[in-house]
Each structure stands twice: as structure tokens, then as C-alpha cells.
Amino acid sequence: GAGVSQSPSNKVTEKGKDVELRCDPISGHTALYWYRQSLGQGLEFLIYFQGNSAPDKSGLPSDRFSAERTGGSVSTLTIQRTQQEDSAVYLCASSPYLDSFEAFFGQGTRLTVV
């Protein structure tokens, strides 16, 4: 597609349930990033992938969060046993390579934990 695509655009889930958020980066982009944007907050880095290298997971807030990237393209962010504080907009971005200076963002998935 023309841009970074994220699905679903909105997700409401019950506390304690697991959720999966999907990101389709721009074709050919080797670097992929996940960020979280909480209400009134800036963007919080979660994880990034670069090609076949080990991902940088240093921003994941707890072991309930995990992400994978299959075939160097699509990525899935999984949150297990969701908590209300996980409610946020989850943004995915991609760039042509890790040292490319411009990241292209998707429109995000708004997660609400009730």
C-alpha cells in the first residue's frame, strides 16, 4: 500500500484479555517501530526492528508486552492480560533503513481497556 497500515483502528477489550495489534509497513522498508501515545502524553518508544537483527525491546513497559515481525514485513504487537493503564493509541512507523532519518507513521490503533 501507499502508507503504513494498522489494524484494527479501534479496539475495546475487557481487562485481563489478550489483544493483538497489527502493522503493515511500507513495502521495502526494513526498519519498523512501535510507539504508544497516552492521552495528554508524548510518544513513548516501545520496540523497533531492523531487518534480521535482534529487535531493540528496551521500551517495552512490562513482560505482558511482546512483538514480532514475520518475514521482515508485517509486525504484531501483543498485550497479554490487559490492564486499564494500557489504554492508549498504539502507533507503528517504518523507514527504508535504520539510519533513514524520516519515519512514516500509521494512523494508530486506539486501545481501550474497560
Q: How far is the CB of 105 from another protein (least distance, A)?
A: 4
Q: Using CB under 8 A, which of 10, 107, 112, 114 touches another protein?
A: 107
CA distance 108 to 5: 8
Q: Tell me if 56 sits within 8 A of 82, measured CB to CB.
A: no
Helix (H) or strand (E) holding 114: none
C-alpha cell belonging to residue 40: 495528554
Burial class from Cβ neighbours inside 10 Å (0-12, 13-18, 19+) for residue 39 reads exposed
Q: How far is the CB of 59 from another protein (least distance, A)?
A: 7
Q: Is 108 in the site for another protein (CB under 8 A)?
A: yes
Q: Using CB under 8 A, which of 11, 20, 59, 96 touches another protein?
A: 59
Q: Is the peptide bond before 55 cis (omega within 30 degrees of 0)?
A: no
Q: How far is the CB of 14 from another protein (least distance, A)?
A: 26
Note the residues at the interface with another protein (CB under 8 A). Answer: 3-4, 31, 33, 35, 40-45, 48, 50, 56, 58-59, 91, 93, 98-99, 101-108
